[in-house]
Amino acid sequence: MRFLFVGDSMTIGRAGDYTWRYRMWQHLDACFDGPYDIVGPRTGLYDAGADAPVSAAYPADFPAAARRHLAGWGEGWLHMAPLIGETVAEHRADVLLVSLGLIDLGFYTDSSQTTANVRAFIAGARAAAPAIRMVLLPVIPNVRARDDAPFAAECERFNELLAKTVADLDLPSSPLLLASPPASYSLDADTYDGTHPGPSGEHKLASAFATAMHQAWGLGGRYRER
């Protein structure tokens, strides 16, 4: 089974971050029953000094083959929808683990426009692989939502629209899952800047995806921190 991580800055991570992708790889390596690959066209972490995704400052035990992804600092559904079809086709992805939306709502599109891009993304992925599975994580509002009530409302409305979209577009032949946001997620304790996850946040995001796949599809086991 071939997994593709799709996301924004919370997924690509910056130089020195472990990333939730690393935590998810640890989980798959320990719990997945059968062969698997992590696929994607990119491998870098974001380097703030270079303002580009060119860093390879990963944990030493994170294999190069498991570092692949389709994630970008400052990229959202708007940017990934046009790319997902060709990426799925080229890398033969079976399961997409997707964490997107915060950057869209913060800078590019409102909740309705973002939802339209979600639908385009799903359609593009299915055009390339009709049996593809997807797990979508709702937006976790960042520190901006504490002081910006309209932004907080857009995040809430988008998550409602995302849930409806998953229900509308779910197919037996190409199932969609809506992961549950970590109930205990704290911007103060689980991020290093009010947005990007630190170690505890990385585990909680990985657990959200792992739990959804295990409960709905029987893939992997229960998530345990390693």
Question: Among 94, 84, 43, 34, which Cα is nearest to 64's?
Answer: 43
Which of 3.40.50.300, 1.25.40.10, 3.40.50.1110, 3.30.200.20 would CATH assign to domain 2-217? 3.40.50.1110
Mind listing the pLDDT tens digit for each residue in 114-164? 999 999 999 999 999 999 999 999 999 999 999 999 999 999 999 999 999
DSSP 96-149: EEEE--HHIIIII--HHHHHHHHHHHHHHHHHH-TT-EEEEEPP---THHHH-H
What count of Cα atoms within 13 Å lies in the side-chain half-sphere of residue 132?
30
Mind listing the pLDDT tens digit for each residue in 177-199? 999 999 899 999 999 999 999 99
Q: Is the pTM of this model over 0.85?
A: yes
The full set of domain ranges for the chain reads 2-217
Summary mean pLDDT of the chain: 97
Mind listing the pLDDT tens digit for each residue in 36-90? 999 999 999 999 999 999 999 999 999 999 999 999 999 999 999 999 999 999 9
